[in-house]
Each structure stands twice: as C-alpha cells, then as structure tokens.
Amino acid sequence: SSFTEKAFTIQEIDWGGGGGGGGPEEGATSQEKLSLLKNVHSGLPDPLPHPVKRSVIEGDYLYFHYGCDGQDDRGWGCGYRTVQTLSSWLRMNGFPARGPAPTLPRIQQALVSMQDKPDSFRGSRDWIGTFEASLVLDFIHDVPCKLVHVRGGAAELERVAAEELHRHFHVHGSPVMMGGDRDNSSKGIVGVCTGAGGSHLLVVDPHYYGGPPERAELQRRGWVAWRRVSSLDQDSFYNLCMPQTARKST
C-alpha cells in the first residue's frame, strides 16, 4: 500500500537550472527534479461528525517543508516553505509562474527586485511573513492576495478568521498562509470546519524536518491536522494571506 500511496501522491517539480541568484546557498537541487508529496491532507477524517459548515480547498498542491530541497532552513524558513506550497497550487491550477518554481534564493531575489528588501537580504536567514508572501505571489504568478488582520482573542479568532476562510475557500478555493506576532510560526490553511462548539482549521505545517515523509506519517504526527481555533495563541494577532484566484467569469 505504501508503493500505491506514493505513486499517487508524489510529484516531481523542476527547479530549472541557474537563475536563482543564490550561489552555493541554492543547494544541489537547483538543476534537479525534487519529489514532493501532493495533497497531504487527503484521507484525514473530519474533526466534527455533524459540522454546520465545512470548506476546503479545490485542486492539487505540493507539500514543502524544512529542508525538502536540501537547504537546512530550520528556525527561519517556514514562511518561504508556505509560499512554495501556495505557489505550487497556483502552478497546478492554471496560474503559471514566471520562470521555474520559486526556490528560497529566488524568493529573496524577488523581494530585492521589488525593492521591498535591501541587497543584504539575499543569502540571509531573515524570515518572511504574510505581507512578503503576497508580494512574491503577485510578482511570480500575477495573482493579487487579500491580507486579513485578525486581532487576538477567542471571539475575534472564531468569528473573523473562520468566516473569512469559509468565504475564501468557497469563492477562490486556494490555500491560505497564516502567521502572527506572538505565534509567528507560518502555516498553510487548506480547510475550515465549523460546528456548535467552534471551528477547526486544517493546518499544513511546514516545520517537518527529516527524510521524505509518508502522508500517513505526517497526519499521525500532527504535521497535517485539524486544529481547534481555540488552540491558537489567544494573545497573538494573526494575518491571513489569501490568493484571489476566482476567475473573472464567475
């Protein structure tokens, strides 16, 4: 069954050759194909037996995580990995990128090219958040992003975050990047499920580090999981980066 699962869930992505501006930082994968898991949330049971509302993404994406391309970015790269996951969805759902898939050096170069960051940002270990993510996705895919600021506190998180996500997945269907101040760990959100007792978010966590993972292992260890909104840091604000991918014809 492991072979069958891999055959359907792993996809190769072409990093292209050169052009990353990263020198040695770019790692050995710059001119190779990288195998990544696809749709790592598939098969995960819903958190509620009878939800009032359930909204999940449409279309395929690839799971990017710490070290997945040979570059050890633990402690600073989670925002970049979430951008790569969102970018993979865009590429696979009709929003082609300008050039090869975005490596970490290419993401840094894009922000320098837009004059959002100084030249010293290239090759650094400076993290990026939802604002930088919106700039990069617009730059690479020509897709604008909506940024939503959610103040801390249970009521605000339940009301604003859950409703914004339900609306987004219904209209746009694309994955969302979430980050905050006290809770500054970037995470991908690919679904939301709401019941009488509150809402759960379907989180794709980029902080996994290790060998090529199995989808079942990621789910068992909680790297891909439904998490109660009430489990988020109540003293942290959160920002949502939502790619606006609805077709003009709809």
The two tokens of residue 131 are: 């604002």
In a domain, 248, yes or no: no
In a domain, 124, yes or no: yes
The per-residue pLDDT of the chain, averaged, comes to 87
Q: Are 238 and 180 in contact (CB under 8 A)?
A: yes
Closest to 76 in 3D by CA, of 178, 172, 206: 206
In a domain, 34, yes or no: yes
In a domain, 249, yes or no: no
The two tokens of residue 113 are: 């090219």
pLDDT tens digits, residue range 33-47?
Answer: 678 999 999 999 999
DSSP class per residue in 64-120: --TTTTS---TTT-HHHHHHHHHHHHHHHTT---SSS---HHHHHHHHHHTTSS-GG
pLDDT tens digits, residue range 53-67?
Answer: 999 999 999 999 999
In a domain, 182, yes or no: yes
In a domain, 250, yes or no: no
Please tell me the number of Cα atoms within 13 Å of 198 on its side-chain side. 15
Q: Label residue 29 by pLDDT band (50, 70, 90).
A: very low
pTM of the predicted model as reported, rounded to 2 decimal places: 0.88
Closest to 147 in 3D by CA, of 178, 182, 101, 113: 178
Give the catalytic positions in this structure. Answer: 78, 205, 207
Cα–Cα dist 89/98, whole Å: 14
Amino acid 14: pLDDT:
55
pLDDT tens digits, residue range 145-183?
Answer: 999 999 987 788 888 999 999 999 999 999 999 998 887
DSSP category for residue 143:
-
DSSP percent split of the chain into helix, strand, coil, nearest 5: 35, 20, 45
Phi, psi of 53 (to 5 degrees): -150, 140
In a domain, 142, yes or no: yes
Helix (H) or strand (E) holding 169: helix 162-171
In a domain, 150, yes or no: yes
Q: Label residue 2 by pLDDT band (50, 70, 90).
A: very low
Residue 235 sits in a domain of what CATH number? 3.90.70.130
Quote the domain boundaries for residue 199. 2-243
Cα–Cα dist 155/174, whole Å: 25
Domain total for the chain? 1
- Residues in contact with 106: Cβ distance below 8 Å, sequence separation at least 6, in sequence order: 19, 20, 21, 22, 99, 100
